[in-house]
A and B are shown apart, each in its own frame.
Chain A
């Protein structure tokens, strides 16, 4: 097992190397002088020169790449052109709102999605099942920001139940924190719920058709433990896999949700960097989120042994 974990951790390296190489090449193969692009339309030649020096753009390409990778390995993501601060510091400052949003969304979405999927599978073919599936297709189709503005309009502007936007740090109390996170989590979680509910229903249908489920029913297991213990446990592996893959959906969604709800997180940091052409920030956040995505999916793989004792590494 430990040998397997080490091997899998090592297998992250080539993936992250490709991510790093690609992000690096994006900047350097973009048409025109990267320093001039970053400096923007109103830059003086002196500005451009300063940026070129600051980013080491006057060195040969291979050397720039090695220097950059070496600093990446030390955990240095470079400095923001606009703020002048290290990108890691800027990310750390904005980590709490983003982590809060992502974690509450994942927690609530997974619970709701599995409940919906299990119920739909247990009543396959009924109106309830069809409504859940229709909701799932809708959830994929309505963009995060449209859901967000509808929620704001109904629940914050018309009904005044919840704040329109913003973020309250957890230190100022759990309730205000939750009040600010409720609408963004629903907006962000919609597509995620749809994705997980669909796979849960599909796998549950497969499992419910197995012989051992008939045996369970025959020996008189009550419906609820039968669904949750016998069936859901056996359906766990594909469901957990999709939860892991869906993280990619969430990362993109976080960027949009933070813009809609004006949450000062990592997503806002990136969006603000677009207009300022603050490429080191965009680059750093890509590296961080890609690493996170790869890591989460590694954890998902490792969780298979817990969920299904037949899987041994």
Chain B
């Protein structure tokens, strides 16, 4: 919605160009629009939602109504307010994990792909890390530290890094055999310049696609960790925490589980749609395969 609005205000021609883009890439536009709407909701949470922490036992387990749009939970807390605030944690964790794991994975992958002596050693470590199921690794990390958003982000990032390293390394390995790299080496360019100028650009398109998938999986893992009691502290309203707290009230108050669950599914769906669309657009070789 916001995208259409800005496109209309722009000079004529922009609308037409946007329409063409939207028709060719419906999934990117739909995913981005959903995600943008969710980001706006998360940002303006204090203005559009009441107190997410307020317990009012007199109002407990109320079904959705004009007063409580999404009903209330077993402590009389407003499910709508908590769902709105939950968007904040999900988006912060999803985007931070994507950013950090791409940054770290890019650095390691460039080094491993370019300096062949490092390669064997680095990749053995990555193989080992990839063998550990992501949720279990995160559970181990969180259980050893005081629960906080920072630890959750680190715990989800570590298992994502090897996937980025593998991707970047494979791009570097094919790029470094190109004649223009040979020319740059022959021309006396320093390693850092070759990597930054000639190799880095080819990694960007696949990394953008990978980053969206990492965001989706990070949001899912964060919710799963919260749900299992190994995530951010239970008093913070996250979708996973809300579902965990309400699980005993499924029969009597399904809204207290289904609304945060639907919000979670919607955000992940939006990110995945964007990822699929970006992949089709940026990485035609992969697009044919999936």
Contact = CB atoms under 8 A, between A and B. Distances in A.
B128 A157 contact: no
A293 B257 CA distance: 32
Contacts of B142: 274
Nearest to B131: A290
A142 B260 CA distance: 12
B229 A271 contact: yes
B128 A14 contact: yes
B125 interface: yes
A16 interface: yes
A274 B139 contact: yes
Contacts of B221: 252
Interface in A111-162: 137-138, 140-146, 149-150, 152-153, 157
B143 A143 contact: no
Nearest to B141: A26
B23 to A, nearest CB: 17
A277 B143 contact: yes
- Name the residue in B140, B141, B229 with the highest tally of chain A Cβ atoms < 10 Å from its Cβ: B140
Given A143-B264, A143-B265, A22 B136 contact: no
A149 B243 contact: yes
16 contacts: A19-B131, A22-B132, A26-B140, A26-B141, A143-B223, A143-B261, A143-B268, A146-B264, A202-B288, A202-B289, A206-B289, A256-B224, A274-B139, A283-B140, A285-B136, A290-B131
Interface residues of A, number: 56
Contacts of A60: none
A146 B243 contact: yes
Chain B, interface size category, equals: 35 or more
Interface string A4-29: 00000000001111110111001100
Nearest to B143: A274
Contacts of B272: 137, 140-141
A236 interface: no
Interface in B251-287: 251, 254, 257-258, 261-262, 264-265, 268-269, 272-273, 276
B131 A251 contact: no
B95 interface: no
Contacts of A293: 131, 133
Interface stretch (A30-38, A173-181, A217-225): A30-38
A30 B145 contact: yes
B133 A15 contact: no
A157 to B, nearest CB: 5
A273 B230 CA distance: 10
Contacts of A271: 228-230
Ranked nearest first, the 7 interchain pairs of A and B with the lowest CB-CB distance are A18-B128, A146-B261, A252-B135, A141-B269, A30-B144, A141-B268, A251-B133
